[in-house]
Amino acid sequence: MALNRLTVFLLKDVEEFSDALADEKDPDRVELDQESGLEGEFWWSARAPSAPPWVEFIGEVLSETPDGLRSSSASGLLIVRVAGSVFALTFGYGRSFLRPETIVRGFGLKVALNRIDSQQMRSIDTKAYEDLVVAKTTQASKSTEVRTFGIEPMRDILRAVTGEPRTQELGNRLSGADALVLNIAVEPSDLPVLLEKALEAYHDDEYKKDFEWVDHLALVTDPAIIEVLDGKLVTALKVKDTSVTHLAIPDAIEWEDIHAFKIRGARNNEYDDLDLDDYLDDLKTTDDFTIELLKSRGVLISFARSSEDWDQKWTLYHCLVSEQRYNGGLFALIEGRWFSISKSLVDDVDAAVGQIGASGLSLPAAMAGEKEGEYNERVSASMGFVSLDTKLVRPAGATSGIEFCDMLAPNRTFVHVKRKSRSSTLSHLFAQGLVSINAMIGDGAFREKVRGIIGEQSKGLESSIIDDWVSAVPGSAEAISGSDYSVAYVVIAKSTKPGNDWLPFFSKLNLMQTVRSLAPLGVKVSLDRVDVK
Better-scored residue on pLDDT, 57 or 488: 488
Strand partners, 403: 392
* CA distance linking residue 121 with residue 112, whole number of Å: 11
* CA distance linking residue 454 with residue 459, whole number of Å: 9
> Going by C-beta distance under 8 Å and a sequence separation of 6 or more, which residues neighbour residue 14?
20, 79, 86, 102
* CA distance linking residue 394 with residue 133, whole number of Å: 27
Better-scored residue on pLDDT, 256 or 259: 259
What does pTM read for this prediction?
Answer: 0.70
| Whether residue 423 has pLDDT greater than 70 | no
Give the pLDDT confidence score for residue 287 in this predicted structure: 93
| Whether residue 174 has pLDDT greater than 90 | yes
| Whether residue 262 has pLDDT greater than 70 | yes
pLDDT digits (tens, 9 = 90+) for 398-421: 888 999 999 999 999 999 999 876
pLDDT digits (tens, 9 = 90+) for 358-393: 999 999 999 988 989 999 999 999 999 999 999 999
Four-residue CA torsion sign, 407, 243, 240, 319: positive
Q: Exposure pattern of 122-135 as b/e (b: 16+ CB <10 Å)?
A: bebbbbbbbbebeb
User: What phi and psi values does residue 347 have, to the nearest 5 degrees?
Assistant: -65, -40
Give the pLDDT confidence score for residue 268 in this predicted structure: 84
pLDDT digits (tens, 9 = 90+) for 319-358: 998 999 999 899 999 888 898 988 888 899 999 999 999 9
The average pLDDT across 448-473 equals: 93
The average pLDDT across 283-309 equals: 86
